[in-house]
Structure 1
Amino acid sequence: MSGDNGQTTALILASKSASRRAMLDAAGVPYEAVPADLDERAVEARMAGAPGGEVAEALSVAKAEALARHHPHALVLGSDSLVVVEGRRFDKPASREEARAHLAFFSGKVMELHSAAALVRMSGGAAGCEWSHAACARLVVRKLSERFIDDYLTREWPAIGHTVGCFRIEGPGVQLFERIEGDHFTVLGMPLLPVLGALREQGVLAA
């Protein structure tokens, strides 16, 4: 897509997330996916005590900034999601046993899923954030029996090791919930509609 100056605006997604790539593919967005080299835990540690949405947004910006420095002529899209349950933040499970512990803790509680995105480009030798946005969905987890958790992990591990919240909403993970309040794309891991609006403003998509 060409911007007002007639130059093509290349978009790079700072992620290899299958769900984020699927969203952009389905929406017809041209992009290249390149994973960002970022110590996410260090960013989270610096923001200890901050609201979940702020942390997700900061991680999105940091991912995009880390990649933009190596791609000075592109617009970089960073995105991140995190889960908060009863005030406790949860990262992706490192093992099946940790996934089991997460699911047992989530049982019967409300999961807040924060998804954010940011657009960054190099300007004057520095990475500058052009736009960022965070959204939150509330997912009510039903009471999960030990048998259900065992059967669920047999089917879904290790695939859900790459997800916060230990679920893929487009698969068996939907069985975890009684009710979902919020945007579907936020649940998938990126606030897509605001992203598309920002990409139109940046000349990546036709207005």
Structure 2
Amino acid sequence: MKSFILASSSPRRKELLEQAKYTFTIESSQKEERVDEGLKPEEVVQRLAVQKAEDIWSRSQDAVVLGADTIVYHRGMILGKPNTVDEARSMLEQLSGQTHTVYTGVSICSLEQSLHFYAETEVSFYSLSEEDISMYIRSGEPFDKAGAYGIQGLGAYLVHSIHGDYYTVMGLPLAKTIRALKQLNISPNI
């Protein structure tokens, strides 16, 4: 059986693959992420996922390598990971009472073939008070997450509803990913 490498340091992606009973190693891509301006959000996440997967696969061509990337898209803007409290506050204020789209791109590379796909999920937030936003920022949760929130943690408090795959919002559309890995003979360790 081929080795399976996750090209991501995301604790959520690691957790999801472990939940699905996969055996894998982690090698984080250190390659600078680059995308062209003017791309559609689904093109952005697919290109970033491909860059991560191909970077690791170029050094481990005997393995199957999975790379992924997630963005939050709202009103024509990509909301990345906030670097400051002010950035986190601004993002959460923009998302308050609104519906946005989360895109996750996945790239799986192997010697035999490569598979690339994305999933999107609409997320609607409750209207957030300043107190709600301040409390959430104090938790520290916003700072390593696209759009300044994580649905799987305290950020669940912000979310009114979703339309689509919950796991896409977490960072890896699990059902689509499992089906793609199966095509490359990578199966859960059951």
> What range is the shorter-chain TM-score in?
over 0.9
1:53-110 Cα shifts (integer Å, max 9, x gaps): 1110111111001111111211110000001101111111111221111111111221
RMSD: 1.4
Partner residue, 1:67: 56
CA 197–109 in structure 1, closer or farther in 2 if over 3 Å, else same: same
1:82 to 62, 67, 71: 71
Aligned partner of 1:137 in structure 2 is 121
Residue 85 of structure 2 corresponds to which residue in structure 1? Answer: 96
Is 1:203–2:176 an aligned residue pair?
no
Larger Rg belongs to = 1
> 1:154 offset after TM fit, Å?
1.0
CA distance in 1, matches of 2:159, 2:65: 34
Mapping 1:100-115, distance limit 5 Å: 100-115=89-104
Identity percentage of aligned residues: 28
* Secondary structure, aligned partner of 1:117: strand
The structural deviation recorded for 1:160 is 2.6
SS at match of 1:112: strand
TM-score (structure 1 length as normaliser): 0.86
2:151 matches 1:162:
no
1:155-192 Cα distance to aligned partner (Å, 9 max, x none): 2x1x3311102112121101112211111111111111
Match of 1:148 in 2: 132
Pairwise CA distance, 1:9: 1.0
Check whether the contact 2:2–2:63 (CA below 8 A) recurs between aligned residues: yes
- The equivalent residue for 2:171 is 189
TM-score (norm 2): 0.94
| Structure 1: tracts of 5 or more residues without a match | 1-7, 124-128
Q: What is the aligned partner in structure 1 of residue 45 from structure 2?
A: 56
CA contact (8 A) 2:7 2:26 kept: yes
2:151–2:159 CA contact under 8 A, matched in 1: no
> How many residues were matched structurally?
188
Equivalent-residue separation in structure 1 for 2:30 and 2:84 (angstroms): 22
Asked if the contact 1:37–1:67 (Cα under 8 Å) also holds between the matched residues in 2, the reply is no
**Unaligned regions of 5+ residues in structure 2, if any?**
none
- The 4+ residue runs of structure 1 with deviation greater than 2 A are none
